[in-house]
Structure 1
Amino acid sequence: MYEELKKRRLELKKTLEEIAEKTKIKKHCLQLIEEGKFDELPIEVYTRAYIKTYAESIGIDPSIILKDYEEYLKTKKQNVQQIELKPKFESEPEPKPEILKKSSDKKIFSLKKFPAWAMTAGIIFAVIFVIIFLIQFDKKEYEIPPPPSIKQEVISENTKVQEKIDKNEQKQEISVHQQSLKIEAIDKVWMRITIDDKEKKEFLLNPGQKIELQADKSFKLHIGNAGGVKILFNDKDLGKLGETGQVVYLNLPQDKN
C-alpha cells in the first residue's frame, strides 16, 4: 500500500521537495518510503515517525502504510532467525564399531605374523644408531667454535637499524593519510557511517557514549538526531550540526560543517 503515497501526492500536484519542506524530512527518505525500500531507511523508531508524518501531511491514514512496514519487519526478523538456527556444518558420521573392530583385528594379526629375526635386526640397528649419535654429539662438545665475524655482526646491526628506520617511515606515511573521527552522544542518536566508501557501520548511542573511528580517505555520515551528537574530525570540533530530531548527511573531509 506504500504506492498510495506517491499516487496521492501526484493527485495533490505536490513535489517531494514541497513535502520535504513541510514535514522537515529529507527528500531522499521520502522517496525511499514511496518505493518501499525500507532496508535503506534509519532504525524502526525514526522510520515509523517518517511514515506517519508523511501520510498525515497528504491526508492518508498512516496505519495503512505502517501495516506494510510491520510486515517487512516481521519477514526480516524471520529471515534472521532462520540464518541463526541453520547449522554451520554437518557433523561427520561416526565410524561403525564393526569396521573398527575388523581394522584392529587386522593390525594384531599382522604383528603376530611379523618374523622374529626381523624384529631382532631392527632392535640391533636402533642400538647402533644411538651409539653413533652419542659419539658424534660427544665430539661436537669438544670442538672449538670459530671466532665470530666482526664484519658480519656490524652489517647485521646496520641492517637492523635500517629496518627500524624503514618501519618508522612507513608508520609516519600511514599516519599522515589517516582521518580520525570522534563522536560523543549528548542525546539518544542513531547514525550510519560509511568508511572509505567501503565499510558501513550503524550505531545507536545513548547519552554519554563515545566512539572513535579511523579512515584512509573519508567518512560519510547519516545522522538521525543532529542536535544530539558532538563530532570531532581530526580533533577539530564541527560545532552544532542541527536541531534535535533533524536528519543530517555529512561527507568528511569535503564538508566544512
Structure 2
Amino acid sequence: MARARIKRDQAPAAEDNHNGGITVGQRLRQAREAKGLSLEDVFDKTKLRPSIVEAIEQERWKELPAPAFVKGFLRTYVKLLEIDEREIIELYDTRVPKDNRPFEAILTKRQTRKTGWAVAIVIMIAVFAITYWWIEQPPPSISNHERAPAIEKQVSKEKSNEKVQFTMATGEKDKQVEKTEQSESLNTVPEAADQSDVVRLTEKPVSEQAEPQTEKTVAVVDTEPNLVLKALVKERTWMRIKTDGGQAKEYIFDPGSRPIWKAQKIFDIMIGNAAGIELELNGKPLGPLGKRGKVIHLVLPKDS
C-alpha cells in the first residue's frame, strides 16, 4: 500500500514536469549556470563539444544525430550536473520530434553499407578489367611520326649529293645553279625582315596588355577592411564567429589570447563565456558582455 501511494504521489510530479512548461534544454542550462560552468568547462570534463551542448540546450534536434546517441550525450551531461537522469530522459522523450526515430537511422546505415559494398565491387571489377587489357596489349612499335624525320634527312642528303655531282659534270649548268641560289638568297632576306617586323608587332601588344594587370593589382592592394574586431581573452572561452555571411569558425581561447578579425560589413558572434572575453570594434571597447558561463549572441555593428 505504501508503495502504491508513493507511485501515485510521483505520477502527478512527473506530469508536472512534462506539462509545467520547463523543457529539457532549459533544465540543463539552469543546472549548468547554477554550477557556474561554461561550455568550455563542460568540454574539458565530458569531451562534449560546445556546439553539441548548445544544440541540446536550445533543443535544435535536427542538428543532432539519432536519439540513441543524444541520450548518451544527455547521460554524460547529467552526471556532470548531478541531476536526475530519469527526469531528463523523460523530458527528452516528450520533446524529441516524432520523425527523428532510431530505427530510421539504422535503416539508412544499412542502406549506405549496401551501397558502399556495391561501389567497392564495381571499382574492383574495373581495376581487373583495365589490368587485363593492359597486359594483353602488344609491345609499342615505332610510329610513322618518329621515322619521318630520319627519312627526310636521308632524302635531303641524297638530293644535295645529286646537285653537287650534276654541277661537276656540266659547266654550262653551273651558271643556272648560281642564279637560282642568288634568287633564293634574295627571297630569304625579305622573310627575315618580315619575321623581325612580326616580332616588333607582337611585342607592343604584350606591353599594352601588361598595363591593365598592374592597375588591377594596385586596386586589390588598396582595399582595406571597414571593420576590425579585437579580443582580449581573460578566461578560457569558446567562441564561434562568422564574417560577412561567410562560413562560421569555432575557437577555444586560453587566457591571454588576443585574436583579431577583419570584415567589410558584419560580424555574427556566439560566445560561450560572456565574462571571459573583452571585445573592441574599430578601437572602441564594447564594455562588459555578461556573466561568467553565460552564452550570448552578438551582431556587430549593432546598426546592421
TM-score, normalised to structure 1's length?
A: 0.51
SS in 2 for 1:104: coil
Indicate conservation of the 8 Å contact 1:194/1:219, yes or no.
Answer: yes
Residue-by-residue CA offset, 1:215-257 (whole Å, 9 max, x unaligned): 231111111111111222234332322222122221101169x
Shift of the 30–221 alpha-carbon distance from structure 1 to 2, 3 Å rule, reads: closer
Shift of 1:163: 5.2
Which structure has greater helix proportion?
A: 2
In 2, Cα distance between equivalents of 1:209 and 1:233: 17
How is 1:25-104 mapped onto 2 (pairs within 5 angstroms)? 33=57, 35=59, 37=61, 39=63, 48=77, 52=81, 61-62=84-85, 64-65=87-88, 93-94=127-128, 99-104=133-138
Higher relative contact order (CA 8 A, sep 6+): 2
Indicate conservation of the 8 Å contact 1:32/1:38, yes or no.
Answer: no
In 1, Cα distance between equivalents of 2:206 and 2:219: 20
Shift of 1:190: 0.9
Residue-by-residue CA offset, 1:42-91 (whole Å, 9 max, x unaligned): xx89x948x959xx6xxxx255426969xx9xx9xxx9xx99xx899957
Higher alpha-carbon Rg: 2
In 2, Cα distance between equivalents of 1:156 and 1:14: 73
Structure 2: runs of 5 or more not aligned: 1-12, 35-52, 65-72, 94-99, 158-184
Structure-2 residue corresponding to 1:208 = 256
In 1, Cα distance between equivalents of 2:246 and 2:16: 36
Structure-2 residue corresponding to 1:237 = 285
Structure-2 residue corresponding to 1:252 = 300
Structure-2 residue corresponding to 1:133 = none
In 2, Cα distance between equivalents of 1:166 and 1:96: 48
Shift of the 65–129 alpha-carbon distance from structure 1 to 2, 3 Å rule, reads: farther
How is 1:1-257 mapped onto 2 (pairs within 5 angstroms)? 8=17, 10-11=19-20, 33=57, 35=59, 37=61, 39=63, 48=77, 52=81, 61-62=84-85, 64-65=87-88, 93-94=127-128, 99-104=133-138, 123-127=150-154, 145=196, 164-165=214-215, 167-172=217-222, 174-175=223-224, 178-254=226-302
Indicate conservation of the 8 Å contact 1:5/1:34, yes or no.
Answer: no
Shift of 1:93: 0.9
Shift of 1:37: 2.8
| 1:219 counterpart letter in structure 2 | F
| 1:242 counterpart letter in structure 2 | G
